[in-house]
């Protein structure tokens, strides 16, 4: 645990008692604060009370008397489409509003560091797609180098629940736009921006607000190194703002597809090869094409981001290359489940929107595509340009028939259930093809979350006769 510093003997209110909220309450208490807890859910309040915490209804009159700060969970709206009524009241009263990320950066350093020869560092990863894979890949690389490393944030452990850092330790944090938007302190040593595509627009009042939330990690934090994907206009704009010119190597530009030779420091992937350039000279080159844990151009961009972050903390190319080759990928993200007679089975259940599904469809040459669920606005119309690799689609769930109407001439069938889709796709797949679960839809019509959907796919694949698990 990281005890929260700066509030000893003061009242701090905590709104939202999920994983991060309870971790925040524990860390505040450990730092000597008096915590006032509330959640609109009776079930969540009961879980907190089972740990010995008392409840304070923060909506009642006078609840904020003497309160030094309100700490809110990331899932609770603090600005758009409108702030939660308790947050709105805190703002009316001038009570500072923060989140666990802000408290973490406020409390990360300690007097123990006075005895360290090598200071701990924080690498933060944000962006629209690839955050989790990039975060996990950086963690894998650092651990492979023999350096102490922890991973937390939007992936795995809450930031205030991690162990106090050892000498020379690297902490890798995945940060969502909800987290970067509100944190009052953001001071990473290395900040990574993967890419930007429309997401969470209601919470940010459009693309401008969404980008502004991501940009705070760089503009507010002033990292020593900024790793920035420049395949979109926003990334190019951010890189320009963070650098004093094209040769400023405090910014490491990354790309999947564009050659970046003119900058002070860049890492890019083209035609399956990763290249690192510094001041016009190639420093390293890696063939990514046969790395099973990083299939497709979107994962090659993730590899570029992780490579750049690892180089920014001084790790050598040879070691990073070895770590890339041993990376097995994250569950439900282009995850190789099994193979049979030349057919591979890939679980990308995390592809819950059109953009992520498009990246998955571009990663393999010939696909038996399992898609469907609770479709989002517009369905899969924007996927039509990316369907050239699809031999046949097997549609499941609530939106199966709506998706079928948008497929044009692509062969397809309505499978309804995952069980039928897996059985039919496996029976019809030919050697060299991939059976790909990339739903382009939410899971809530048939599964509680995308993880359960992916696990069901993996279970059904594992039960096929003659299957060889990865």
Q: Contact 189/171 with Cβ under 8 angstroms?
A: no
State which H helix or E strand residue 403 sits in. helix 400-405
- Rounded CA separation 447/427 (Å): 24
Average pLDDT along the chain: 95
Q: What is the mean pLDDT of residues 50-65?
A: 96
Q: What is the pLDDT of residue 199?
A: 80
Q: How far apart are alpha carbons 76 and 73 in whole angstroms?
A: 6
Residue 427: CB atoms within 10 A of its CB come to 9
User: Between 42-50 and 19-30, two packed helices, what is the crossing angle to 10 degrees?
Assistant: 40
Q: Indicate the annotated binding residues.
A: 127-133
Mean pLDDT of 297-308: 96
Q: Where does 397-442 show beta strands of DSSP type E?
A: 412-416, 434-437
The two three-digit tokens of residue 28, written as one number:
């505040």
Per the listing, tokens 């006078």 go with: 62
Contact (CB, 8 A) for 392 and 369: yes
What are the pLDDT digits (tens) for 155-198? 878 999 999 999 999 999 999 999 999 999 999 999 999 999 88
Which domains occur in the chain, in start order? 11-98 (3.40.50.720), 104-326 (3.40.1190.10), 335-469 (3.90.190.20)
What is the pLDDT, as a whole number, of residue 330?
86
pLDDT digits (tens, 9 = 90+) for 195-227: 998 888 899 999 999 999 999 999 987 899 999
What confidence tens digit (pLDDT) does each residue in 257-295 have? 999 999 999 999 999 999 999 999 999 999 999 898 899
- Predicted confidence at residue 292, as pLDDT, reads 85
pLDDT reported for residue 222: 86
Annotated binding site for ATP: 127-133
Burial 4-34 (b: 16+ CB within 10 A, else e): bbebeeebbbbbbbbebbbbbbbbbbebebb
90: left (phi over 0), alpha (psi -120 to 50) or beta: alpha
Contact between 1 and 160 (Cβ < 8 Å):
yes
Structure confidence at residue 156 (pLDDT): 76
Give the mean model confidence (pLDDT) for residues 378-405.
Answer: 96
Longest dimension (CA), the chain: 69
């Amino acid at each position: 645990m990281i005890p929260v510093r700066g509030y000893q003997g003061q009242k701090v209110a905590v709104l939202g008692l999920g994983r991060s909220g309870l971790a925040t309450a524990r860390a505040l208490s450990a730092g000597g604060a008096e915590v006032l807890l509330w959640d609109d859910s009776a079930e969540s309040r009961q879980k907190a009370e089972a740990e010995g915490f008392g409840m304070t209804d923060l909506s009642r009159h006078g609840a904020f008397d003497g309160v030094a700060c309100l700490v809110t969970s990331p899932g609770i709206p603090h600005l758009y489409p409108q702030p939660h009524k308790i947050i709105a009241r805190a703002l009316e009263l001038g009570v500072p509003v923060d989140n666990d990320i802000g408290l973490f950066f406020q409390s990360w350093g300690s007097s123990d560091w006075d005895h360290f020869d090598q200071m701990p560092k924080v690498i933060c990863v944000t962006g629209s797609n690839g955050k989790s894979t990039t975060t996990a890949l950086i963690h894998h690389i650092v651990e492979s180098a023999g350096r102490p490393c922890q991973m937390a944030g939007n992936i795995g452990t809450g930031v205030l629940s991690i162990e106090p850092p050892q000498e020379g330790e690297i902490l890798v944090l995945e940060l969502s736009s909800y987290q970067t938007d509100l944190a009052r302190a953001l001071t990473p040593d290395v900040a990574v921006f993967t890419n930007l595509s429309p997401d969470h627009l209601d919470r940010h009042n459009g693309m401008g607000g969404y980008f502004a939330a991501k940009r705070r990690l760089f503009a507010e934090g002033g990292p020593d190194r900024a790793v920035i994907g420049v395949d979109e206009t926003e990334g190019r704009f951010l890189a320009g703002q963070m650098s004093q010119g094209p040769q400023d190597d405090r910014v490491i530009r990354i790309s999947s597809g564009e050659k970046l030779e003119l900058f002070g420091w860049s890492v890019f992937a083209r035609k399956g090869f990763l290249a690192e350039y510094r001041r016009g000279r190639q420093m390293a080159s890696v063939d990514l094409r046969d790395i099973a844990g990083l299939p497709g151009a979107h994962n090659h961009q993730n590899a570029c981001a992780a490579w750049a972050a690892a180089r920014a903390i001084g790790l050598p190319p040879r070691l990073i290359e070895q770590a890339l080759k041993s990376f097995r990928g994250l569950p439900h993200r282009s995850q190789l489940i099994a193979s049979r007679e030349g057919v591979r089975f890939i679980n990308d259940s995390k592809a819950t929107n059109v953009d992520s599904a498009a990246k998955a469809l571009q990663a393999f040459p010939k696909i038996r595509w399992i898609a469907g669920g609770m479709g989002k606005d517009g369905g899969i119309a924007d996927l039509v340009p990316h369907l050239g690799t699809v031999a046949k689609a097997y549609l499941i769930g609530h939106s199966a028939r709506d998706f079928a109407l948008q497929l044009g001439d692509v062969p397809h069938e309505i499978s309804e259930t995952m069980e039928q889709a897996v059985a039919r796709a496996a029976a019809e797949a030919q050697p060299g093809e991939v059976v790909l679960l990339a739903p382009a839809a939410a899971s809530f019509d048939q599964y509680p979350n995308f993880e359960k959907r992916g696990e069901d796919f993996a279970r059904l694949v594992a039960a096929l006769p003659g299957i060889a698990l990865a």
